């Protein structure tokens, strides 16, 4: 069983790229974030033609999460079971100002049972800047994830939380820990919130198998950051022991961040359970040497 997660940064804009990647990597379950679609606009037929059931939870122009599964999808939960979110309806974004920001009124969580595993697609708030209501809301949102786990889930059961959590858990997950110090994504409280998920009974599957430096899942579009590998590892697959102990491979598909159609600024993160899935070249071979050579030439 192959489970993957990918912040696609607009499913409408990136649909051709997603279809390409489904053929390339053949995941059994793909968790999607930042679809930026209302439920009625979700491309259900395109996924069905590719052999997937699409479960979508969206609000319109912003946020949006989904699960694409070719193993069925049962027991769907959205928004932690707390009820519907508001919709975006033309003109201006609902809830975009500090005075009415509410992370629980946004489409950031969807869950379903696929192939005997409960999977959860999560899109954490960005946080924008320390000391703002957006940052406080981000920490509150992580606390809500923890309460949902405590109240409804069991760490002895097969469970995978995947998505863009907007947290780089350690300095090794950031291209420049010193330069980003004091920013969101790397602050102590955010990292504590991530560690609380692990303490509940989850394993950071990628880090459990990979300790190489310079492996990231997100690079800003601007200023050649991808070419210089100035990124962060902020997309994660977290699994309970019944899943984590069966993982045979985990990889970040850096190649999906390249070329045409226009890629997302995130790369897919993939894990294989029990046996390897369809082979693909993630594009990391020799990358450290290439990045070092480019930096040396720039210093030149």
pLDDT of residue 295: 59
- C-alpha distances in Å from residue 67, one per residue of 2, 160, 236: 13, 12, 15
pLDDT tops 60 at residue 241: yes
Q: Measure the CA–CA gap between 195 and 200, rounded to whole angstroms.
A: 9
8 A C-beta contact, residue 191 and residue 142: no
For residue range 80-126, what is the model confidence (pLDDT) as tens digits? Answer: 999 888 665 443 344 445 555 788 889 999 999 999 999 999 999 99
Q: Per-residue pLDDT averaged across 68-73, rounded? A: 98
pLDDT tops 80 at residue 299: no
Compute φ and ψ for 4, nearest 5 degrees.
-135, 160
Q: Rounded to the nearest 5 degrees, what angle is found at the Cα of 278, between the Cα atoms of 33 and 76?
A: 35
Residue 61's pLDDT band (cuts 50, 70, 90) = confident
8 A C-beta contact, residue 21 and residue 37: no
Q: Measure the CA–CA gap between 158 and 85, rounded to whole angstroms.
A: 28
pLDDT of residue 85: 83
Q: Which domains does the chain have, with CATH numbers?
A: 2-88+96-299 (3.60.10.10)
Q: Measure the CA–CA gap between 128 and 35, rounded to whole angstroms.
A: 19
pLDDT tops 60 at residue 185: yes
pLDDT of residue 87: 62
Burial class (CB in 10 A: 0-12, 13-18, 19+), 7: buried
pTM, two decimal places: 0.93
Per the model's pLDDT, the better-predicted residue between 101 and 129 turns out to be: 129
For residue range 24-58, what is the model confidence (pLDDT) as tens digits? Answer: 999 999 999 999 999 999 999 999 999 999 999 99
Q: Which of 160-164, 235-239, 257-261, 290-294 has the lowest mean pLDDT?
A: 290-294
Q: Which of 95-99, 225-229, 296-300 has the lowest mean pLDDT?
A: 95-99
For residue range 139-179, what is the model confidence (pLDDT) as tens digits? Answer: 999 999 999 999 999 999 999 999 999 999 999 999 999 98
Percent of the chain at pLDDT > 70 equals: 91
pLDDT of residue 90: 43
8 A C-beta contact, residue 57 and residue 47: no
- C-alpha distances in Å from residue 268, one per residue of 19, 69, 79: 13, 16, 23
pLDDT of residue 101: 74
Q: Measure the CA–CA gap between 292 and 181, rounded to whole angstroms.
A: 23
For residue range 265-296, what is the model confidence (pLDDT) as tens digits? Answer: 999 999 999 999 999 999 998 776 666 666 56
Show Cβ contacts of residue 234 under 8 Å, excluding neighbours closer than 6 positions: 164, 165, 166, 167, 168, 173, 185, 217, 218
- Label the pairing between strands 65-69 and 29-33: antiparallel
HSE of 94 in the Cβ direction (CA atoms, 13 Å)?
A: 16
pLDDT of residue 100: 58
């Amino acid at each position: 069983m192959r489970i993957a997660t990918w912040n696609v940064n607009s499913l409408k804009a990136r649909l051709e790229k997603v279809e390409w990647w489904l053929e390339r990597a053949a995941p059994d379950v793909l968790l999607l974030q930042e679809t930026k679609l209302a439920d009625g606009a979700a491309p259900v037929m395109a996924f069905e033609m590719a052999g997937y059931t699409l479960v979508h939870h969206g609000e319109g122009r912003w946020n949006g999460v989904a699960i694409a599964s070719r193993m069925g999808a049962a027991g769907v939960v959205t928004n932690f079971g707390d009820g519907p979110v508001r919709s975006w309806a033309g003109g201006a974004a609902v809830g975009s100002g500090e005075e009415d920001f509410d992370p629980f009124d946004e489409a950031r969580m969807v869950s379903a049972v696929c192939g005997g595993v409960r999977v959860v697609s999560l899109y954490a708030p960005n946080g924008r800047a320390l000391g703002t209501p957006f940052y406080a809301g981000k920490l509150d949102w992580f606390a809500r994830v923890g309460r949902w786990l405590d109240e409804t889930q069991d760490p002895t059961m097969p469970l995978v939380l995947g998505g863009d959590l907007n947290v780089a858990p350690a300095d090794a997950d950031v291209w420049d820990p010193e330069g980003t110090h004091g920013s969101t994504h790397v602050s102590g409280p955010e990292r504590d919130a991530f560690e609380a998920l692990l303490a509940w009974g989850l394993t950071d599957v990628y880090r459990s198998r990979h300790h190489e430096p310079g492996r990231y899942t997100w690079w800003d579009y601007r200023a050649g950051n991808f070419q210089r590998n100035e990124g962060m590892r902020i997309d994660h697959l977290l699994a309970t022991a019944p899943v984590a102990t069966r993982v045979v491979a985990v990889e970040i598909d850096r190649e999906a961040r390249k070329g045409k159609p226009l890629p997302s600024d995130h790369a897919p993160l993939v894990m294989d359970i029990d046996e390897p899935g369809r082979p693909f070249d993630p594009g990391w071979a020799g990358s450290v040497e290439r990045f070092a050579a480019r930096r040396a030439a720039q210093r030149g």
